[in-house]
Amino acid sequence: MTETILKTWEEICLDKLREIGPSTAAEWAAALGYNNNRNGVVHVINRIKKKMPEKLEIYYNKRPRLYKAI
């Protein structure tokens, strides 16, 4: 019997960010298939910052911000 590991959408997005390395929201959105529309990732970023801020590192206070998964 195989075990399936269930992940939330936020965890899947963090895994993708780990794959691509530090990147902007637009680059992260493109890697997830949002066609360079960073708004698709902004809500995910806000949920990650609220629920599990220790897993996301944010560089710079101004745009473009760089995000790195820890």
- According to DSSP, residue 6 is labeled -
User: pTM value?
Assistant: 0.83
Q: State the pLDDT at residue 55.
A: 93
Number of domains in the chain: 1
Asked if residue 51 is part of any domain, the answer here is: yes
Asked if residue 44 is part of any domain, the answer here is: yes
Structural domain range at position 58: 22-69
Alpha-carbon torsion, ordered 51, 54, 57, 60, to 10 deg: 70
Asked if residue 13 is part of any domain, the answer here is: no
Asked if residue 8 is part of any domain, the answer here is: no
Alpha-carbon distance 35 to 56, whole Å?
Answer: 22
Asked if residue 16 is part of any domain, the answer here is: no
CB atoms within 10 A of CB 14: 21
pLDDT in tens, 16-49: 999 999 999 989 999 998 886 888 888 999 999 9
Asked if residue 32 is part of any domain, the answer here is: yes
Percent of the chain with pLDDT over 70: 97
